[in-house]
């Protein structure tokens, strides 16, 4: 079991990383604003089911192998870049009608919101680098099984992530009425979120294994 000081450092460092908006936060906020609080919370659930994937890989030592493989890392990286850019293009173009006016985007089912959230996190190379490079810093082999400690910290990350991302969803839900009050406001929101997705895809393209 980690010491209290290690736990405090882990919680502080993890929250500092979680509150900085990335692909997950952008996805949660845009889905919440588009379809309400339930959609936002479903997207949070999807994001952290994606986190479970990396927690299991890390505790088994497989994520380090994935990171060490140049081919595997590049596949994850470029699939993630392509997915973020695709989400951005959807936001930029799919809400515009043939006459150039702004249309309400089609509502997504909760299942689709969930699965997209899972993919957003699994295909984010930053998530892989985070679990391989960040979590092991808090592991002390003298305090027991490394695998179980990684699993413990991974679960802790998910709990803190749900709290942080859930807060973003609730705040976005409270502001969604204002953000989508008019067609112009909706279009500006879609344009800005689309550009952010594409920018995040460009940032993901620069992430390296080192």
- What is the SS3 assignment for 58-113? HHHCHHHHHHHCHHHHHHHHHHHHHHHHHHHHHHHHCCECCCCCECCCCCCCHHHH
| For residue 94, pLDDT beyond 80 | no
Percentage of the chain exceeding pLDDT 70: 83
Q: How much helix, strand and coil, in percent to the nearest 5, is found in the chain?
A: 80, 0, 20
pTM across the whole model: 0.79
What's the confidence (pLDDT) of residue 124? 82
What average pLDDT does the segment 153-169 reach?
Answer: 94
What integer pLDDT is reported at residue 209 of this predicted model? 58
Average pLDDT over residues 39-56: 93
pLDDT confidence bin for 185, thresholds 50/70/90: low
pLDDT at position 104 over 80? no
Whether the Cβ atoms of residue 43 and residue 172 lie closer than 8 Å to each other: no
Find the mean pLDDT for residues 111-139. Answer: 85
Query: To the nearest whole percent, how much of the chain has pLDDT over 90?
Result: 25
Q: For residue 40, name the pLDDT band (cuts at 50, 70, 90).
A: very high
Distance set, CA 117 to CA 2, 45, 76, 137, 153 (Å)? 31, 8, 16, 27, 22
What average pLDDT does range 81-100 have in this prediction?
A: 72
Mean pLDDT of the chain: 81
Residue 192 has pLDDT above 80, yes or no: no
> Does residue 115 surpass a pLDDT of 80?
yes
Q: Is the pLDDT of residue 107 over 60?
A: yes
Any idea which of 143-147, 160-164, 174-178 has the lowest mean pLDDT? 174-178
Question: Which DSSP state fits 19?
Answer: T
* 68 or 52: which leads in pLDDT: 52
Domain definitions of the chain by residue range: 4-11+22-205
Who has greater pLDDT, 74 or 152?
Answer: 152
pLDDT reported for residue 146: 82
């Amino acid at each position: 079991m980690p010491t209290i000081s290690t736990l405090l450092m882990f919680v502080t460092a993890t929250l500092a990383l979680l509150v900085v908006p990335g692909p997950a936060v952008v996805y949660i906020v845009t889905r919440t604003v588009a379809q309400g609080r339930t959609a936002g919370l479903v997207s949070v659930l999807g994001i952290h089911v994606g986190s479970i994937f990396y927690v299991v890989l890390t505790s088994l030592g497989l994520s380090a192998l994935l990171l060490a493989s140049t081919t595997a890392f590049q596949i994850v990286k470029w699939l993630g870049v392509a997915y973020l850019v695709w989400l951005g293009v959807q936001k930029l173009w799919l809400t515009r009608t043939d006459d150039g006016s702004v249309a309400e985007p089609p509502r997504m089912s909760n299942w689709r919101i969930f699965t997209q959230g899972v993919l957003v996190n699994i295909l984010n190379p930053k998530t892989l680098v985070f679990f391989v490079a960040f979590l092991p810093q808090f592991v002390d082999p003298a305090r027991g099984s490394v695998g179980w400690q990684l699993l413990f910290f991974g679960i802790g990350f998910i709990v803190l992530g749900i709290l942080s991302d859930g807060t973003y969803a609730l705040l976005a839900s409270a502001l969604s009425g204002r953000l989508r009050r008019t067609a112009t406001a909706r279009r500006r929101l879609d344009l800005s979120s689309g550009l952010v997705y594409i920018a995040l895809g460009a940032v993901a393209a620069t992430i390296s294994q080192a």
